[in-house]
Amino acid sequence: MNASPVTDADMHAFLDGELSPQRGAEVRAWLAAHPEAARRLEAYRAQRSALHGLFDPVLDEPLPEPLVQAGMPPPATRRGWPWPQLAAGVLLASIGAAGGWFARDLQIETGALARAVPLPHQAAVAHVVFSPDVRRPVEISAEHEAQLVTWLSKRLGTAVHPPRLGSLGFELIGGRLLPGNSGPVAQFMYHDVSGQRLTLYVSTENLGRRDTAFRFAQEGPVNVFYWIDGQFGYALSAGIPKDQLARVATAVYEQLESR
Amino acid sequence: MDSHALLAELPRLRRYARALVGERSVADDLVQDTLERAWARHGQWRADGELRTWLFAIMHNLRMDQLRKPRLECVPLDEDVAEVPVRASQSDGMELADLAAALAQLPEEQRAVLLLVTLEDMRYADVASTLGIAVGTVMSRLSRGRERLRQILAGEAPSPHLRVVR
């Protein structure tokens, strides 16, 4: 027989069934001629059965309840990054608290809220939450417009001015600061003589995107025109007919462009 | 990944963890962490892969994280220097309590390989991928682990003080 020398690694591989049948036979023959190595191998074999004897009873132990629970799929809320869901939850809670019956008509899709809340949706929710408020619809009223502009510009990190919509019958009531997807956003509120309210939502969170097309969205009873201009996202929301809102949106857009 | 398949692996995960870390509560905590991480990363599991190997790999990584954290009760064991007093055992040397104590004296990297091969009957290649090491490393750790365990159980544990340069 012209077999290569049997190494220590061969002995282990032999024991663990990792050798080819031919090499296995060679090792077996070699062991027959080397009793000391054979005894060592027997000791290793005994280790295997002793380890099974020691630890196999664990297999038959009843499973601890916490482990069975951990083996079940976790609830969806525990999976992944919780913040977008939290933000959506806060928005939904806000509607529930402040929107009242008005919000019930809003078709809120939680799936759509699972990631960043789309601009028209944010705007519509903010409109629904604050526009019905008779006593405190805004944080700073139009009487202090300069203060409002300074404050919001400072918080948003860029100059923001409420457009003049008097020619369309809408007067500024004031404005407020709101949380957006990742930072502050501004809301300006207007009303006409009938008390109809209209809000302009200004977000500066659209880094790197440039999309100046007008878009229309209907969020329940609220119509929204929105567009994105560089880092700015604008959304005009009101419970007024689409064509009337379109005229206001056009006026807002022209004023912002000419600035 | 479905929970039935995961629960079916639970007994073996527990057995391995118990043998690896010794203490029951620590072992079960490790298994629980493993299951939680498995669910958190279930998107990474390839359906054509072996669930058991994937779970053992997760457990191994968690255990490595644990061992990297400095802890007071954790004494690094260098296999060539470590000197652990061993009660002289009888020639049959396979009392279960002795075995558990002897196993605990192995460096963990050797213990892990030894357990995956002998208790879990894993192929060397699967052990290598589970632990993220080369097959050659699996074989050398297995060889050293088995021999050291044999020596401890036979009362022949090498003592550095008796080692003589020949």
CATH architecture observed for domain A76-258:
2-Layer Sandwich (3.30)
Q: Tell me the pTM.
A: 0.52
| pLDDT tens-digit readout, B9-20 | 999 999 999 999
Q: B8 and chain A: CB distance < 8 Å anywhere?
A: no
Instruction: For residue A62, give the nearest of B96, B14, B120 by alpha carbon.
Output: B14
* pLDDT at site A134: 79
More confident residue, B82 or A178: A178
pLDDT reported for residue B18? 95
CA Rg value for chain A:
35
pLDDT of residue B41: 85
Per CATH, which fold does B3-68 belong to?
Rna Polymerase Sigma Factor; Chain: A (1.10.1740)
Enter the CATH code of domain B96-160: 1.10.10.10
Q: Is the per-residue pLDDT at A112 higher than 80?
A: no
Q: Which tens digits make up the pLDDT trace of A215-232?
A: 888 888 899 998 888 778
Position A181 scores a pLDDT of 80
Contact list in B for residue A58 (CB cut-off 8 A) is 11, 14-15, 18
Q: Is the pLDDT of residue B166 over 60?
A: no
Tens of pLDDT along A199-216? Answer: 999 998 765 556 667 888
**Burial, A210: exposed, middle or buried (Cβ in 10 Å; 0-12, 13-18, 19+)?**
exposed
pLDDT of A34 strictly over 60? yes
* Domain locations along chain A: 8-60, 76-258
B110 chain-A contacts, CB cut-off 8 A: none
Report pLDDT for A211.
66
Pick the more confident residue, B102 or A134: B102
- The Cα of B135 is separated from the nearest Cα of chain A by a number of Å equal to 11
Domain ranges of chain B: 3-68, 96-160
pLDDT band at A2 (very low <50, low <70, confident <90, very high): low
Closest CA to A125 of A214, A222, A191, A228: A222
Place of tokens 């499973």: A63
**Cβ neighbours of B100 in A, within 8 Å:** 54
Give Cβ neighbours of residue A258 (< 8 Å, ≥ 6 apart).
none
Q: What is the model's pLDDT at position B165?
A: 47
Q: Strands across the sheet with A211-219, in order?
A: A140-141, A171-179, A184-191, A197-203, A232-238, A222-229, A211-219
